[in-house]
Amino acid sequence: MKRELVIVLDFGGQYNQLVARRVRECNVYCEIYSYKTDIEKIKAMRPKGIILTGGPNSCYDADSPTYRKELFELGIPVLGLCYGAQLMMFVLGGNVARADVREYGKTEVLIDKTSSRIFTDISPKTICWMSHFDSIFKAAPGFEITAHTADCPVAAAENEAAGLYAVQFHPEVLHTKEGTKILSNFVLGVCGCAGDWRMDSFVEESIRQIRDKVGNGRVLCALSGGVDSSVAAVLLSKAVGSQLTCVFVDHGLLRKNEGDEVEAVFGPAGSYDLNFIRVNAQQRFYNKLAGVSEPEKKRKIIGEEFIRVFEEEAKKIGAVDFLVQGTIYPDVVESGLGGESAVIKSHHNVGGLPDYVDFKEIIEPLRDLFKDEVRKAGLELGIPEHLVYRQPFPGPGLGVRIIGEVTADKVKIVQDADAIYREEIEKAGLSRGIGQYFAALTNMQSVGVMGDERTYDYAVALRAVNTIDFMTAEAAQIPFTVLNKVMSRIINEVKGVNRVLYDLTSKPPGTIELE
């Protein structure tokens, strides 16, 4: 069965990744591409539908992102969202200008054409999320206005015969009450997608593609023991079996006892048929990180040293043709490689290998999946739930959970504090209800009193967030009694800490990791 595809053309909007998520929730496969993608490439992909994202620009400015009129003449249904809607109108002859009243936030939208295919079963008055300072004042020729607001004369418009639809609001965000239904109406109703893409089909197709790509080649997998790399490793094992070697690098920046736990699961005594190699390189990484405090520099050092370790192991086992990594979609997005998003973080496992590394190619089987989709793939592969729902852990490990210079002493502090925090969260029955939680070590030292003596020790910051896709997150509301117990245990049991803080910052503006 050929997979149906809807593509999202990214014009730099802050919600662009959510569009792909919502489409996939309709069981339709979706990929994101830059608005700079050539029209011939789009034709070759033969998408069932195209969605244009929002963006921060004014479509009528000469240097703003745009697309050729031909895009709307392919006979492929197109849905424009916010900036995408304005751009569609502008390119096709409508009028877009600065609005007299800017709309932002939850706004009542009045549906003028309840028979519209994208408004099927949508309330005549519905709450939608607006975020625009330009407005469509005149729809393009051939378009019918299908919705408005008190301040926006064209909240939606369509040319049904041409399969072109424009909405000024953002149906992809949860604040738009019936947004998922609107997107479903487009991809299933207008585009005619069957809605039969599910994780089992993703797993089956991925295994087939990996087999075709690898052939008789040998594969080296960067196994960290985290959710992403574990799912990637098992997926590769299903595809190529003994051609796969999994290298687990204990860089000394793992959670407490994690190295031994990973080996117990994936090593010779574990339940998986993997060629498993553990490399104990703790001191090597500590030496490289000595004196370095800038977070991006730490990330790059850790990433480069990872590559060096893999390169050395590859030489030991002989020629290796492919390197497998557990890159997932948020990694790609935050590295500036997904559509038009700005660089938020550099990831050691995103963006390809340096020229001097002796591998043919990187295989990133999870590159297009969000975290919750990775977990679904893991369950489909038969990985036990306690591994699939393990807490996410960044590639650079505690290197990005220690503010400032990384030392062995600091690593022990944050390992012990984090272990206490995770233990108490689990005891309280909160572990499955929180997207991610961990302890980090700040670079702040302050005066305290312990045992009638003056101390000058570090402050530990506790982080816990609720999130579905790890693109956005809010601080979890952990009961004060639990936080108080965590604080008490850390102060009493972890040497070098005399203060415990709780981070309330959402993402955005912050990231989930504290660096």
Q: Which residues are catalytic?
A: 82, 170, 172
- What one-letter code names the amino acid at 368? D
DSSP state of 50: E
Separation in Å, CA 374 to CA 223, 363, 380, 474: 15, 16, 10, 21
At residue 11, the 3 state secondary structure works out as coil
Separation in Å, CA 174 to CA 24, 120, 127, 132, 197: 15, 19, 11, 17, 22
Q: Which two tokens stand for residue 322?
A: 């492919």
Q: Which residues of 462-472 are buried (b: 16+ CB within 10 A; e: fewer)?
A: bbbbbbebbbb
Q: Which residues contact 393 (CB under 8 A, 6 or more apart)?
A: 224, 226, 254, 255
Q: Which two tokens stand for residue 18?
A: 């959510």
Q: Which two tokens stand for residue 145?
A: 């206005």
DSSP state of 438: E
- What one-letter code names the amino acid at 413? I
Separation in Å, CA 107 to CA 53, 110, 129, 510: 19, 10, 6, 26
DSSP state of 187: I
User: How far apart are alpha carbons 75 and 164 in whole angstroms?
Assistant: 9
DSSP per-residue letters across 413-478: HHHHHHHHHHHHHHHTT-GGG-SEEEEEEEEEEEEEEETTEEEEEEEEEEEEEE-SSSSSBEE---
User: How far apart are alpha carbons 252 and 247 in whole angstroms?
Assistant: 15
Q: Which residues contact 112 (CB under 8 A, 6 or more apart)?
A: 145, 146, 147, 148
At residue 70, the 3 state secondary structure works out as helix
8 A C-beta contact, residue 52 and residue 84: yes
DSSP state of 355: T
User: How far apart are alpha carbons 461 and 169 in whole angstroms?
Assistant: 38
Beta bridge partners of 486: none
Please report how the helices 199-214 and 371-380 are oriented relative to each other, as an axis angle in degrees rounded to 10. Answer: 80
H/E element, 138: strand 125-138
